[in-house]
Structure 1
Amino acid sequence: MYKKLVLIFILLLSISGCGQPSIEKLNKVGLLVPETVNDQVWGTKGYKGLLKIQSELNVDVFYKEGMDNEQVVRNAIRDFQEKGVNLVFGHGSEYESFFEEISKDYPDIHFVFTNGVAKGKNVTSLNFEAHAMGFFGGMVAGEMSKTNKVGVLAAFEWQPEVNGFFEGAYYQNEEVDVDIQFVQDWDNVPLAMEYLDVIIGNGADVVYVAGDGYNVPVIERLKEKGLYAVGFVSDQADLGEGTVLTSTVQHVDRLYELVAKRYNTGELESGDLYFDFQDDVIDLGKFSPLVDESFQEDLEDHIKKYQKTEKLPNQF
């Protein structure tokens, strides 16, 4: 009789637990970057996010560089698992295809990557709603251009900030022409320089450098030529306040900390999540002193209205 009661008790516990979400406390965190954490742009942002998690949540963290193919990623995940890691950040959209398959073999690890479509019960994609940041960056370019010609040096056609920049520049200056060139790569500096020459040759005096792997050398070239830039991902004012008018900043470090805290409290959802100005992970960087203060104030008002209404200036 005693054994029967024990069995019944266990059965009732198992039934009552069905359908309840399991809360997995954060143990240790791993970060994979395709290149390096010392690039001063995208990779560095991810690394700073990892350090924020370590500091705020008091957990051990690990990172691996050069994670650019499935085999090295598999080896890294195996190593992370042995160390007790249960939350892994793949720092880029390239990890979408890797995690789709690898996540099936590691159900006790939650996999996170950026800018893609998550497939798997333990996979989350973090997506920046970049259209608005591009719009406000475009407004700055349209306002500051003396030639009424501005350029976008982007990596890929799918980047929502590209159309946003075009719309913002035209909203601010109906006389402006926008020359858009796509490098088809985040890191191809020589090709980016070739396209930059095309943009400059077409008369642009402001360029939105929307590629984090090549934007530093491109901005340096613009500085040499006495032209202007709108920075990307990081606040790049330190590259020259007479060159960088402002930057469209994505605070990946803040976002990673937010995600880790959600995981620690059982609130991190699988699937595709979206973040914008309203989440305090996107904003504009420091303005160049060349940008008129009254325009800066107007732009800040537009951003505040967008945060409240989710409508851009051209949507009212």
Structure 2
Amino acid sequence: MTHVMACIDSSPSSPAVSDYAAWASQRLNAPLTLLHVLDQEKYPASADLSGNIGLGSREHLLEELATLDARRAKLALEHGQHLLEMAQERMIASGAVAPDLKQRHGHLVESLSCLQDDIRLLVIGRVGEDSKQGANSLGSQIEAVVRAIHRPILITASHFKKPGKVMLAFDGSATAHKTVEMLASSTLCTGLSVHIVMVGADSEDNRKELEKARCTLVSSGLKVQAEILTGEVETVLHAYQAEHMIDLLVMGAYGHSRIRQFLVGSTTTTMLRTTALPVLLLR
């Protein structure tokens, strides 16, 4: 069985990542794995300084610098292990089954790519330990992770709130219907209230596509409310989620239409940057 995998670091969002991962694991009945990746650029496994410092009388400086680098990397690994153990304790206290712990020395995207076959759902914070914190911050590696990992990705809010209402952004396309089918086949939203929101013309074709999506979700036992609204996509989605007190936003990660593109300036990226909600990206 594939795992719910949570990326743990020293950022303020890690407790929320732990809590959302524990929640998802229980709903999916999937085992948990906690992953900490020690950045190879910040903490190289070994450093070749021979080109920077002349040998001979300065050889002892080279040896001392290499020793300091090794000690620094070792301390960072120990700190990472401590972060994993704290997250593990937090999850067990919440009632989750004890998660497996993994630690890698390298780059986040490459590490996740190697582990991709073991991932059922990836849970990651909106902002990592090296990213700027702010109301509209989005970590520098999020887009790279979304592009590289062909798995559902839950990008968490800064604080955990148990989801009760879910909003699915829908545009009537074939890819959007695939997103609906993925949501319908999952136990993640069982028992939750699902709102399908389509921003566009209130036309017969759009109503037909929306009703098809609604029926797909209803047939899986979900409680569904479907709406067609007009206006600017981001503005309408934000207003709807505020009015209906939505707890989790679901969107497709890729595509060619405005609602599904994951490129700079797209609706998905804009929503990621501007919403305080956790976002589940499906592809």
TM-score, normalising length: structure 2 = 0.27
- Larger helix fraction of residues: 1
